[in-house]
Each structure stands twice: as C-alpha cells, then as structure tokens.
C-alpha cells in the first residue's frame, strides 16, 4: 500500500479552503452586512437613508443565515432521518 502524497495535499488544501471560507468568510459577510445596514439607515455621520444599501445588507444576512441553517441540517441529517424519517442531502 503506497501513500499518495499529492492526494493527501489536495484533500488538506480543500479542507483549509472550506475552513477559511466558513471560519472567516461568513463572519466577514455578517460584518459587512452590519456596516451596510448602518450606512443605509443613515445612522453614520448623519447621512441620509439609502435603501439600496439596506437591501444589500439584508441579502448578506440571508446568505449567512442560509449557510448556518444548511450546516446545522447537514450535521443532523442522520438523526433527522433516523428519528423523524426526513431524508436530507441523500442521507
């Protein structure tokens, strides 16, 4: 049995990329959403309301919530199938 180091490096790189995306990317999207919401509502420096920024902020919040809910459902997919008979993600 030979160890294929290139496959191990590729798998480790994928794990690192996904970890960076979810570990830093989702909080960064949330922080950007907060900043855009504050700028869109006119709370910063007495600026006027800009509805487009508020809409983009809510879109970013929806992406973060969808990612979190999808992650929780992915983690609990076997339990959901076992106890409730709900089959998600091909479980």
Per the structure, the complete domain to which residue 65 belongs is given by: 19-84
Q: Does residue 4 sit within a domain?
A: no
Q: Does residue 2 sit within a domain?
A: no
pLDDT tens-digit readout, 53-71: 999 999 999 999 999 999 9
In the prediction, which pLDDT does 2 show? 84
Q: Does residue 68 sit within a domain?
A: yes
Name the domain count of the chain. 1
Report the distance separating Cα 48 and Cα 34, nearest Å: 17
Q: Does residue 62 sit within a domain?
A: yes
Q: Does residue 6 sit within a domain?
A: no
Q: Does residue 54 sit within a domain?
A: yes
In the prediction, which pLDDT does 91 show? 54
Q: pTM, whole model, 2 decimals?
A: 0.76
Positions of the chain with pLDDT lower than 50, given as ranges = none
């Amino acid at each position: 049995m030979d160890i294929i180091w290139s496959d191990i490096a590729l798998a480790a790189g994928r794990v690192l990329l996904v970890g960076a995306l979810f570990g830093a990317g989702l909080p960064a999207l949330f922080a950007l959403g907060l900043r855009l919401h504050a700028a869109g509502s006119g709370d910063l420096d007495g600026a006027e309301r800009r509805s487009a920024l508020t809409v983009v902020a809510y879109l970013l919040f929806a992406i973060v919530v969808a990612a979190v809910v999808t992650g929780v459902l992915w983690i609990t997919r076997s339990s959901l199938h076992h106890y409730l008979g709900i089959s998600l993600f091909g479980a």
